[in-house]
Amino acid sequence: MFVYTFRSSKLKWLLLIALCAFILGAFWYFGSSRPASHSGAVVLRAGNAAERLAFISQFGWDVAEDPVQVTEILIPAEFDEVYQKYNEIQKQQDLDLTLYAGRRVKKWTYAVRNYPGYEGRADVIELNMLICDGLVIGGDVCSTELGGFMHGFDFPAESASAAAPLPGR
């Protein structure tokens, strides 16, 4: 049988080092790789169809169960003017694409059926979600019409004509 004893001072130092390592690990895990989300009120999980639809429903949107399109996109390492404007929309909803610069993500596009003023015209309004590692990292609701609009996930309180024009236009 092998017995090893510590003096209390060594044990205290080891516990202090372990506690510091745990705290630093928690900051790294929750701080740098996970975006903020409306003060924690919004669940960002979107790793499967049920989670994606639950995410969308948090904002009051009614969408078709099947996405219109699923694509893989590369978020550029350096943002041009269009991406900077798009990221401003993301920052307004407590998300930030700069954390994912240079990474490949999935873009899921759904047809919106209940946009105010566009009810029954699901071919005009789309909801786009950018997903990385099973979490929503960005997205928008936009009109596909010429001269359309784009805004964050929040359900509009005002008419579509007051929404922001598409970035780059």
- Dump pLDDT digits (tens) for 52-108: 999 999 999 999 999 999 999 999 999 999 999 999 999 999 999 999 999 999 999
> If you write DSSP's letter for every residue of 35-69 in order, what string do you get?
---GGGTS--B-SSHHHHHHHHHTTT--B-SS-SE
User: Is residue 121 scored above 90 in pLDDT?
Assistant: no
Q: DSSP state, 166?
A: P
Number of neighbouring beta carbons within 10 Å of residue 26: 10
C-alpha angle 163/57/36, rounded to 5°?
Answer: 75
- pLDDT score for 14: 66
Start-to-end C-alpha separation, the chain: 77
Q: Is residue 111 very low, low, confident or very high in pLDDT (cuts 50, 70, 90)?
A: very high
pLDDT value of residue 158: 63
Residue 16 has a pLDDT of: 63
**Is-contact 102 77, C-beta < 8 A?**
yes
Query: Which pair of tokens denotes residue 168?
Result: 């780059």
- Residue position matching structure tokens 């759904």: 110
Return d(Cα 158, Cα 161) in angstroms, integer.
Answer: 8
Q: Choose between 5 and 136: higher pLDDT.
A: 136
What is the amino acid identity at position 133?
D
Mean residue pLDDT across the chain: 83
pTM for this structure?
Answer: 0.70
Beta partners for residue 109, in sequence order: 69, 128
Cβ 83 vs Cβ 97: under 8 Å: yes
